[in-house]
Amino acid sequence: MSFLLYPSRERSVFPDGKPLLWQLGAYVAVFQRPEFGTTGALLARRVEEDGSEHGDVLIHQLPTSSALAQTSASVFHEEWRLATQLSHPNILRTLDTWLDTPPGTAGDAPRPLFFQLVTEYVPGETLSSVLAALDAKGTRLPVPMALWVAAQVAHGLHAAHEATDAQGQSLGVLHRDVAPAHVLLAYDGGVKLSGFALARTAVRLMSGPIFKHVGSQPPEAQRKGSGQVDRRADVYGLGVTLYEALTGVDPFRRSHDYDSLKAAMSGDAPPPSHHRPELPPTVDAVVMRAMAPKAEDRYATAADFARALEALRDAFAPGDGREELAAFLRDLFGEERIRARTHVPTLAELRARAAALETLEALPPASEQEPEAEDRAPPTPATRFVPHSRLLYLYGGFLLFIVAALVANVAKSRESFVAEVTEVARAGQARAMSCLRGAAGERVRVLLQLDGAGHAEAKVEGPLAGTVAGRCIEEALAGLTWPRKRGMPVTVEVALDGP
């Protein structure tokens, strides 16, 4: 298994862009939400057969390359059925799951299966998006707020760890991938954790690298042949997430994946105060305990971690964390984005918007549209708009012209330089010919290396190299006065009938 940095871990604030309007089962996908979790999500709306719309949801898709539908389906149902039984204010509620088998004929090559998990849609931002917006402004998440958010996530984790079925048997739920991309900060100040069962299902179904972040995986989960983890693994992931929320720094991010894995395995991370000096030792102690490489050194339960976080926050600034978070998100992202993500237009409005965008994209550039005769204004100098593709051609052609001119100039200079060197060699032909007595018609190649000061180093090539005659020719040519230019090596020929 390869613990690579998955794309959603890369901090970005994503706009909604053009409406998708994809039909997925009983749902119509509206916008992409790539910032959600390991695989991203789709904002969708359920549509009944009569065309009525019934609220917005998030669809999390997980592809698998397995061609054995029955085996994959059993894994899917085994892992994700647990998510539907979780209910807590700090857990994103799972509403539906289904297996989407792509259409195809018997002769087709095996096609990927898509497992769909549908959760409630709560308007808000992931912690990853919040950290990206703060990075852009060069600031940090307030310490009391970071502690309060982590405490809410800890409460959700503890509820999942303690969840039981109808018979009172423990469900044995672990998240296994607590990370900023799975922490949802609602615009109304709520905090919810998403992604339950997703990491485990991905490991079991997806071939090739598993795109997770090493920081969310404790050392005991990363050891080869291991995988035996308990609830303290999620405490570890939340500790790493809190570290990043406080400092804006991923504690184990290195330039190479192997180095990241090695750092996480050894717990090679400085305390948060290393990156944010105003943090007191009490914060360092709580965070580093949750991130301890050995499971027995961490908090035994997420509830214990939550109590420690709440005690720290009360020491900083007791208050209503929900109201403070709502006000903070409003100031950070602005009313326009919050309004757009809270009140999603109807499908009819979205289809009209998509059609308008397609029409706008199909229009020619404004400068190429001819105005009506009566509306035409007197011609005035203007800058003509040129499409990007044509600009690329123009720039490319200009660049090729410059390169061709340079090559031609270099070739011409080279040709002139060789002619000048050859003329000097011809002038010293008599001295070189004396070295070839008795060798009528003999032609010898000599490599000349000019130093730019009128001197040259000569080296005979071929059968005469190293012989007495060869050294004689080298001395004869080296004694000439050459052009005072430092040029490329020049090869001349010495013969009884001239070079």
Active centre residues (catalytic): 177
d(CA 84, CA 87): 8
173 near 82, Cβ under 8 Å?
Answer: yes
For residue 446, the Cα-to-chain-centroid distance in whole angstroms is 56
Specify the residue for token string 């485990």.
200
Residues in a beta bridge with 492: 446
Quote the tokens at residue 1.
């298994």
Q: How far apart are CA 178 and CA 199, in angstroms?
A: 10
> SS in 3 state form for the chain?
CCECCCHHHCCCCCCCCCCCCEEECCEEEEEEECCCCCCCEEEEEEECCCCCEEEEEEEEEEEECCCCHHHHHHHHHHHHCCHHHCCCCCECCEEEEEEECCCCCCCCCCCCEEEEEEEECCCEEEHHHHHHHHHHHCCCCCHHHHHHHHHHHHHHHHHHHHCECCCCCECCCCCCCCCHHHEEEECCCCEEECCCCHHHHHHHHCCCCECCCHHHCCHHHHCCCCCCCCCHHHHHHHHHHHHHHHHCCCCCCCCCHHHHHHHHHHCCCCCHHHCCCCCCHHHHHHHHHHCCCCHHHCCCCHHHHHHHHHHHHHHHCCCCHHHHHHHHHHHHHHHHHHHHHHCCCCHHHHHHHHHHHHHHHHCCCHHHCCCCHHHCCCCCCCCCCCCHHHHHHHHHHHHHHHHHHHHHHHHHHHHHHHHHHHHHHHHCHHHHHHHHCCCCCCEEEEEEEECCCCCEEEEEECCCCCCHHHHHHHHHHHCCCCCCCCCCCEEEEEECCCC
Region of 365 on the Ramachandran plot (φ > 0 left; ψ -120 to 50 alpha; else beta) = beta
